[in-house]
Amino acid sequence: MLVILGLLTSLLSFLYFRAPSIRKFFAGGVCRSNVQLPGKVVVITGANTGIGKETARELARRGARVYIACRDVLKGESAASEIRADTKNSQVLVRKLDLSDTKSIRGFAERFLAEEKQLHILINNAGVMMCPYSKTADGFETHLGVNHLGHFLLTHLLLERLKESTPSRVVNLSSLLHHAGKIRFHDLQGEKRYSRGLAYCHSKLANVLFTRELAKRLQGTGVTTYAVHPGVVSSEIVRHSFLLCLLWRIFSPFVKSAWEGAQTSLHCALAEGLEPLSGKYFSDCKKAWVSPKARDNKTAERLWNVSCELLGIQWE
């Protein structure tokens, strides 16, 4: 027992001693684009904290008019105030958006469309993870409802504005964990069997499939779309899991910062010449390998149709 404890102590000591070089290895790519955004309009969901906040900060620094769309308006205003002071860009605005309630999504879209005549970048960044079983205001399982259906509806409602503002882009945050996901059409709401870890994986697979099908349907419109794995990032998304919160604290020297986690989102939003890669999945600022399940066109099309039925919308 003492030998084992000694080995563990030695291992942890080694890891922490080597933390700077290990972190550099796991930090991943950096967005190298120099594109500036004066006159451009951006919407980022969940940008009041974490990856979304750092994404908003960088886009504001480049001169964009940035809308922070979030559920907690007070936290959103605090983040916006910080970003405005940091970037000297006064055009950082906060609007209420609760992705767990389709009425809130429709209300946000209606107000935004009345306020803005253009939309150049939509970043579907917000998400939930490891939630105990619960349902949204509309009766959807929470991971499916927030991570997939909420952003599916938001994109649908804002799509015409994106088409009117081409070239424009839609960036969907997914995860490496989509590899463990499965679209269980017979039990989408998790009522027969539920695992809060797998529910997150299923929703992240849905994000990649949505991106794939959206790209196919947007061919020739000037709107392109990309799915993103931000990496293992220190953020509030793990707040529903005590174990993950503990692991994040223990291994915090080795996981990405929110700034590092934002780099691939920024790359897909800004990098020139990405249009031929619309519908693809990116990690560390480059196209990455995707699960075979995420390349299934029949599943992507079926999920699209089922999503439209659940939301009561028609999407050409």
Q: How far is CA 285 from the centre of its chain?
A: 15
> Which backbone phi and psi does 230 adopt, to 5 degrees?
-75, -15
Q: How far is CA 284 from the centre of its chain?
A: 14
Spell out the long-range contacts of 252-257 with Cβ–Cβ below 8 A and sequence spacing 24 or more: 253/15, 253/16, 253/19, 253/22, 253/23, 254/15, 254/19, 254/22, 254/23, 254/26, 255/26, 255/231, 256/26, 256/27, 256/28, 256/230, 256/231, 256/232, 257/233
| Nearest residue to 229 via CA among 196, 262, 197 | 262
Cα–Cα distance for residue pair 1/300, rounded to 1 Å: 51
Cα–Cα distance for residue pair 316/313, rounded to 1 Å: 10
Task: Establish whether the linkage from the previous residue to 253 is cis, with ω within 30° of 0.
Answer: no
Catalytically annotated residue among 67, 200, 226, 281: 200
Please indicate whether residue 281 is annotated as part of the active site. Answer: no
Asked if 30 contacts 285 with a C-beta cutoff of 8 angstroms, the reply is: yes
Write out the catalytic residue numbers. Answer: 200
